[in-house]
């Protein structure tokens, strides 16, 4: 039986081996001797019960319910309390219970729950599914963060590590909301555990228009040509938004189409967005629409029959990769994401940022951090033109395409042009580029 040891200040301490053979030390503080002896007797019964696998008797359960919460948390961390015994003595929720309840709540998409499930697996692998959520400290949370890149089944990228920590923080917030732990006791909510996802520049690739045209030419039919064109020139998310494109949402008279966005549909006002029918997309879109049988509502009906994988998505990555291989085109990282970001980069060179973000369906902050590329044309334009020429040609403002300004009588004084607006019966003139800045 663990014997209580008394120090010079009158504090009692126990030293013993837990069920795994690890030496533990437990301090009771300044208490009466008879309390310490009684505590040691029950502690010995608890250790014996855990090692033998025999259910504790009613006397031991009654004692456990009287033990201080902080000591119960240590028993949980040391694997002295598990499963039903934790609930019967009031020790709170396990990690298994927390992660299961968190994933089950809400109406998230299957692909989102798959990502949550991966975070759950990492937490279970490190802490153990039967571990208690209350004893997890900031130190243990940092150990988990340091373990992720090397201790998981395969090395995780920095962005994945940050996403996992972010989900762990959300899970513990979920526990706080349900009063399973006290407010302010989230070990993952700390400035030393960053969760903002940084862009991986090594995987960002600007896909040149000529290379994309080569890929489109290699596609076996108009369906695949349209998929690439929508992704690269219209910036549609692939495959979700490409698959959801409806024939009824294509307005040929206004040269616009309405895009259904499964990714953002749970945000109010973000269920759909309207974009132009870009010139690069129009011929393939028209060819596909004209070939549709009567009554077909989807522009790309064959995608509706693709097998949905465990992520809740369809795999068109493999067919496009095979097309690229046959055409002798080297595949770039993040195949569809880089096509979409390249489209946004080109559009930003031609149109104001808020317009591009409205068409692409993201925010200007996300655009700057994850989408925009620095192209070779940017370097060439900077090297070949003075600052004044760059500004005059719209390369800084983003309102004009990248091309060298031509000095012709028709555009020599373009910056000096003005517009007249009526206000209180008087004509007021403002330079076009400088008004209301």
pLDDT in tens, 316-351: 989 999 999 999 999 999 999 999 999 999 999 899
Which tens digits make up the pLDDT trace of 106-143? 777 777 888 899 999 999 999 988 888 888 889 999 99
CB 389 within 8 A of CB 412: no
pLDDT score recorded for residue 434? 41
**What are the residue ranges spanned by the domains of the chain?**
5-81, 95-198, 202-373
Residue 304 has pLDDT above 60, yes or no: yes
Instruction: Provide the 8-state DSSP code for 307.
Output: P
Domain 202-373 has CATH 1.10.1240.10: no
Which tens digits make up the pLDDT trace of 168-187? 999 999 999 988 888 888 99
Residue among 101, 158, 107, 166 at smallest CA distance from 133 = 101
Please give the residue that has the higher pLDDT: either 83 or 249.
249
Angle (CA) 223-247-109 rounded to 5° is 85
What is the full DSSP assignment across 289-304?
HHTSPTT--BSSGGGG
Q: Which one of 3.40.630.30, 1.10.1740.10, 3.30.470.20, 1.10.150.130 gives the CATH number of domain 95-198? A: 1.10.150.130
* Distance of alpha carbon 49 from alpha carbon 160, whole angstroms: 41
For residue 418, the SS3 value is: strand
- For the entire predicted model, the pTM comes to 0.60
Residue 216 has pLDDT above 70, yes or no: yes
* Distance of alpha carbon 189 from alpha carbon 195, whole angstroms: 9
């Amino acid at each position: 039986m663990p014997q209580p040891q008394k120090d010079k200040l009158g504090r009692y301490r126990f030293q013993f081996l837990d069920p795994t053979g690890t030496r533990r030390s437990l301090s009771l503080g300044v208490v009466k001797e008879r309390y310490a002896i009684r505590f040691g007797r029950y502690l010995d019964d608890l250790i014996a019960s855990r090692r033998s696998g025999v259910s504790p008797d009613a006397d031991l359960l009654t004692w456990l319910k009287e033990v201080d919460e902080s000591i119960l948390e240590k028993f949980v961390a040391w694997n002295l309390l598990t499963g039903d015994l934790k609930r019967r003595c009031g020790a709170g929720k396990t990690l298994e219970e927390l992660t299961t309840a968190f994933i089950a709540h809400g109406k998230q998409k299957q692909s989102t729950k798959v990502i949550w499930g991966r975070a759950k697996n990492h937490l279970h692998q490190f802490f153990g599914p039967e571990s208690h959520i209350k004893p997890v400290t900031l130190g243990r949370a940092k150990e988990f963060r340091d373990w992720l890149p090397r201790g998981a089944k395969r090395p995780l990228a920095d962005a994945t590590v940050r996403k996992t920590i972010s989900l762990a923080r959300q899970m513990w917030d979920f526990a706080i909301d349900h009063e399973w732990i006290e407010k302010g006791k989230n070990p993952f909510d700390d400035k030393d555990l960053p969760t903002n996802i940084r862009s991986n520049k090594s995987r960002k690739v600007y896909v040149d228009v000529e290379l994309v045209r080569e890929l489109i030419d290699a596609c076996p039919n108009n369906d695949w040509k349209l998929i690439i064109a929508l992704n690269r020139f219209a910036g549609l998310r692939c495959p979700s938004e490409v698959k959801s494109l409806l024939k009824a949402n294509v307005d040929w008279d206004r040269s616009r189409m309405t895009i259904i966005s499964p990714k953002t549909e749970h945000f109010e006002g973000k269920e759909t967005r309207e974009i132009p029918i870009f010139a690069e997309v129009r011929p393939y879109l028209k060819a596909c629409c004209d070939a549709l049988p009567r009554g077909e509502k989807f522009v790309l009906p064959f995608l509706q029959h693709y097998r949905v994988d465990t992520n809740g998505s369809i795999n068109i990555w493999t067919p496009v990769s095979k097309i690229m291989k046959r055409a002798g085109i080297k595949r770039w990282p993040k195949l569809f994401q880089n096509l979409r970001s390249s489209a946004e980069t080109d559009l930003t060179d031609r149109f104001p940022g808020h317009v591009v973000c409205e068409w692409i369906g993201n925010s200007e902050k996300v655009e700057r951090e994850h989408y925009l590329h620095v192209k070779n044309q940017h370097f060439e334009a900077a090297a070949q033109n003075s600052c004044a020429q760059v500004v005059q040609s719209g390369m800084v403002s983003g309102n004009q395409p990248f091309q060298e300004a031509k000095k012709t009588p028709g555009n020599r004084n373009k910056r000096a042009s003005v517009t007249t607006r009526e206000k209180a019966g008087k004509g007021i003139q403002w330079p076009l580029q400088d008004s209301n800045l």
